[in-house]
């Protein structure tokens, strides 16, 4: 009985062997693709678009359709994700209710803070991740939810608003892509604070400003799975600039 071995790894092939049409070699299922066995004839591989173009040119047809680009992904939600997002935003509202709900503006102040500072932060993570081809889902965090609700206790000196996070999944994520996804959330908060600065002072303005500044500051801490750690692994310059801005904006919020 003849034993057929893979020309690339030398292991015995179980089942039917694969013959490469470019180099003529015999390979196992793991290495049958040209790019997986360093095929010397890989340059001969052609996309269906190139083949169609050459066939049209051979027939004397000067026009051929342009390759179709995949449509840009929209903001897609997974089953149960809107429920988690609603619970998370409700927890953030409770955490921000004191002291803002008891000042001029009432419950409108924490409500605006959630809608303008907390929700866009999470949606920015999700949208940027999906536009990069990643799977992204907002998920509640038991620890984060508890810390957020504890922040509702009156006279707490520091509020932690992180009831959940956007979990992403990708086959081959690189540091730059992960860093950009992580940066997008705090960047939205920093941009919001900068946009609010020239506006007239009011309880509503400072409620949104404080919430946005504290969210940016906490998330840019370079520890664990926080956004700051992912941005720092990608670029310490980008992280340093964003972190410095968030510290300055938080200082303005509490002065």
Q: Give residue 38's pLDDT.
A: 79
Tell me how far apart the alpha carbons of residues 85 and 76 are, in angstroms, rounded to a whole number: 13
Per-residue confidence band for 232, with pLDDT thresholds at 50, 70 and 90: very high
Tell whether 178 and 148 lie within a shared domain. yes
Q: Tokens representing 30?
A: 């793991």
How many domains does the chain divide into? 2
- What single-letter DSSP state applies at residue 35? G
Tell whether 47 and 153 lie within a shared domain. no
SS3 letters across 229-247: HHHHHHCHHHHHHHHHHHH
pLDDT tens for each residue of 201-213: 998 999 999 999 9
pLDDT tens for each residue of 148-179: 999 999 888 789 999 999 998 877 778 999 99
Please give the residue range of the domain that contains residue 131. Answer: 81-254
Tell whether 217 and 94 lie within a shared domain. yes
Provide the whole-model pTM: 0.69
Tell me whether residue 187 is in a domain.
yes
Question: Could you tell me where the beta strands, DSSP code E, fall in the chain?
Answer: 18-19, 26-27, 135-140, 164-169
CB 164 within 8 A of CB 122: yes
Pick from 32, 12, 13: nearest CA to 23: 32
Per residue in 175-185, is it b (16+ CB within 10 Å) or e — as a string?
Answer: eebbbbbbbbb
């Amino acid at each position: 009985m003849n034993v057929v071995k893979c020309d690339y790894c030398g292991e015995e092939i179980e089942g039917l062997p694969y013959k490469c049409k470019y180099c003529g070699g015999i390979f196992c299922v793991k290495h049958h693709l040209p790019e997986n066995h360093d095929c010397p004839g890989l340059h001969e591989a052609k996309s269906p678009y190139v083949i169609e173009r050459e066939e049209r040119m051979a027939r004397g047809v000067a026009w051929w359709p342009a390759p179709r680009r995949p449509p840009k992904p929209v903001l897609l939600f997974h089953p149960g994700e809107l429920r988690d997002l609603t619970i998370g935003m409700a927890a953030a509202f409770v955490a921000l209710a004191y002291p803002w709900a008891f000042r001029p503006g009432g419950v409108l102040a924490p409500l605006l803070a959630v809608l303008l500072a907390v929700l866009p932060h999470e949606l920015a993570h999700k949208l940027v991740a999906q536009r990069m081809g990643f799977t992204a889902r907002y998920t509640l965090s038991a620890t984060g939810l508890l810390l957020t609700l504890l922040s509702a206790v009156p006279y707490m000196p520091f509020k932690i608003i992180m009831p959940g996070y956007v979990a992403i999944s990708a086959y081959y994520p690189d540091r730059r892509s992960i860093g950009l996804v992580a940066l997008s959330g705090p960047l939205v908060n920093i941009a919001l604070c900068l946009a609010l600065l020239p506006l007239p002072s009011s309880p509503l303005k400072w409620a949104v400003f404080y919430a946005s500044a504290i969210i940016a500051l906490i998330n840019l801490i370079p520890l664990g799975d926080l956004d700051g750690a992912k941005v720092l692994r990608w670029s310490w310059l980008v992280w340093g600039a964003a972190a410095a801005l968030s510290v300055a904006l938080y200082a303005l919020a509490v002065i």
